[in-house]
Amino acid sequence: QKQYVSAIHMYEQADLLQPDNIWTVKHLAQCYKLSDKLEKALDYYRKVEAVQPDNLDIALQIGQVLVRMENYKEALSYFYKVEYLEKNPVNAQRAIAWCSFVSGKYDEALKYYHLLLEGASPKAHDWMNAGHVYFVMRQVPQAIQHYQQAQSSEKSHSDFIEKFNKDRNVLLTQGLTEEDLQIILDLLL
C-alpha cells in the first residue's frame, strides 16, 4: 500500500522482538530504499550482506542504492560481482553500462550496451542509452540510429521525447548543451 513509514515502524518493532532476523532486515532495507532514505537502506542491506555474502540479489540491491547515491565506482564493484556469478547477468550488465556511461567510461558503456542489444531481449531504453553514449562521444549518425530504434519501440514521438527528457540532466553533465539536445531531437522528427 506504499505506506513505507508505517511499515518501517512495524518492521523495527519486529526487529526489537527478534533482532537481526534476515527477512525483517531485508524488508526494512526495501522500505527505506522505496522511501528514499538511502543511507538507512544501505545500512540494512549491508547487514544482510554480512550474513549472506553470496546473495546476488542483495549485491544488486546494494549496487542500485549506491547508484542512486551517485557512488558509481562502488556500485560497479557490486554489479561486476553479480555479472561474474549470475547465470543470466542482464540486469547487472545494464547497470554496468549505465554506471560506466555516467562515469565517463564511454567505451566500457558501449561494450555493455552492445552485449544487451545483441542479446535475446533488448529493451527500448537500451537503445536510448546506447544513443546517449554515441551522442556524448559526438558520433551523431550512430546516436541517431540508436535513438530511432528506441523511438520505434514507443507509442508516439511524444513518448520518446518524454523518456529522452528524463535523462536531460545526465546528458548535460556529460558535456552536452541544451542546444545539442534540441538539435538531436529536431533531427529525430
Q: How far apart are CA 59 and CA 42, in angstroms?
A: 11
Query: Are the C-beta atoms of 166 and 143 separated by less than 8 Å?
Result: no
Mean predicted lDDT score pLDDT of the chain: 94
Query: Are the C-beta atoms of 45 and 62 separated by less than 8 Å?
Result: yes
| Tens-place pLDDT, residues 42-86 | 999 999 999 999 999 999 999 999 999 999 999 999 999 999 999
pLDDT at 121: 86
Q: What percent of the chain has pLDDT over 70?
A: 100
| Tens-place pLDDT, residues 165-185 | 999 999 999 999 999 999 999
Give Cβ neighbours of residue 86 (< 8 Å, ≥ 6 apart): 56, 92
**Alpha-carbon torsion 20, 23, 24, 25, what sign?**
positive
